[in-house]
Structure 1
Amino acid sequence: MDLDNMRDSYSRIAADYAAAPPGEGRLTVERALIGIFADRILTGADRTVADVGCGPGEHTAVLRERGLDAYGLDLAPGMVALARRNHPGVPFEVGSMSDLGRADGSLGGVLSAYSIIHVPRAERAGVLAEFFRVLAPGGLVMLVFQVGDEQGRREDFNGHAVGIDWYRLQPDEVVGLLRAAGFEMWVRAVHESQGPDPAPQAYLIAVKP
């Protein structure tokens, strides 16, 4: 994964990215499933949740509203700066999903919404192993991604020059990677393509035993 290019590209487009909301149908499903994810974590002892690849921070803020000690982590300083402006009082930090910088077993949850779509196939197992490492027993990971087999590179975003590699993923493959990392599956859902969303969206929630 070209971290430098990804970091610079997302910093450059942070404001335009935040101004392009997804379709309402997808948001309805997403909010409901993130609510299930949050409610399950609230039953456990550790309520600290990392929103990995948090972007402008909307999901991080929602998790805190539901009573979790959530913080946002993003590779792009521009995204983190925007998230801090949009959500005062919510903690955000710059960092990489491949090294979360947290102690073993220190989190109750990890949310990764549309961030693993930038991880090449050869690196995905390592990222999921890092999520597993930082979760306490009983902790949850939630992955959200577009379904498909395509991959590509975006070089323009609303007139901004970027270099963003992306990958669509198959739920069966990702479930296999989660199980290989040591997780047990809990929830699996797919929202079919509607409106502005060009591909189905997958939602996977797994538990660290």
Structure 2
Amino acid sequence: MTEPYDVTETRAAYDTVSKAYAEIVDPSVTETSFDAGVLDTFAAYVRRDGGGLVGDIGCGPGRITAYLAARGLDVFGVDLSTGMIAQAMERHPALRFEVGDMARLPLRDGELAGVLAWYSLIHTPPSRRPEVIAELARVTRRGGRFVTAFQVGDEHVRHIGAYGHDVTFDGYRMPVEATSALLEEAGFEVTATVVRSAEDWERTPQAYLVARRR
């Protein structure tokens, strides 16, 4: 099976910038206290439902994986980039991390009690977004929890150069209503939709969708 071009390009870019990215982004576990509130709510839902394995899908250097582990979740991280996984393992050696494609996860149906896609859907083109969300739904058990965060909009952003490196990759802002509809179509029930204004360093509003697997 031929790998989609966006997957190949995104992996190569993050392999290149992984160390610089981790050094710049990792010191701040969450950019805003609002982000922390969403993550804390997700963790509380999973604990209240009886716990279970949680996947941080598109985990990068593992900062959110570690944040959730500190809140009592049995969580592991998956990322497309071997460089990012190396950074995650170096920074959080007590946690489990593995390389994987979020469109083809090496997990059984319904294996996870919770799934986090924290700014990790933003590199998937709209044409492939339904299949990726369907895969996230597949691995989430009935009643399991899901949360995603993303920049609001419908623009395609071509990144040329990032984190001090000569790389190119695509990013996509995501419309809230259409993304919510994709979650519903995949088998999730969206239970909360929150959009906050952009912070001083951000260019767009940010959205958070919290859902439960039907």
Alpha-carbon displacement from aligned partner over 1:31-85 (angstroms, at most 9, x marks no partner):
1101101110112234211101101111000111111110000000000000111
Q: Which of the residues 154, 157, 171 maps onto 2:159?
A: 154
1:153 deviates by 1.4
Equivalent residues in 2 for 1:156-171, closer than 5 Å: 156-171=161-176
Mapped to 2, the partners of 1:143 and 1:77 lie a distance apart of 22
Mapped to 1, the partners of 2:164 and 2:210 lie a distance apart of 36
Q: Counterpart in 2 of 1:70? A: 75
Q: Counterpart in 2 of 1:14? A: 18
Runs of 4+ in 1 over 4 A off after TM superposition: 22-26
Mapped to 1, the partners of 2:163 and 2:136 lie a distance apart of 33
Say if 2:29 and 2:67, in contact at 8 Å, map to a contact too.
no
1:194 deviates by 1.2
Q: Counterpart in 2 of 1:28? A: 33
Q: Counterpart in 1 of 2:9? A: 5
1:147 deviates by 0.5
Greater shift, 68-77 or 41-50, is seen at 41-50
Q: Counterpart in 1 of 2:125? A: 120
Instruction: Report % sequence identity.
Output: 39
Structure with the bigger RCO (C-alpha within 8 Å, sep 6+) is: 1
Greater shift, 121-130 or 22-31, is seen at 22-31
Alignment length (residue pairs): 209
Letter in 2 for 1:31: A
Q: Which of the residues 104, 109, 115 maps onto 2:109?
A: 104
Alpha-carbon displacement from aligned partner over 1:141-179 (angstroms, at most 9, x marks no partner):
111100012112112013312121110011111011111
SS of residue in 2 equivalent to 1:3: helix
What TM-score, normalized to structure 1?
0.95
Q: Taking structure 1 as reference, are residues 21 and 185 closer, same or farther at Cα in structure 2, changes over 3 Å only?
A: same
Unmatched 5+ residue regions in structure 1?
A: none
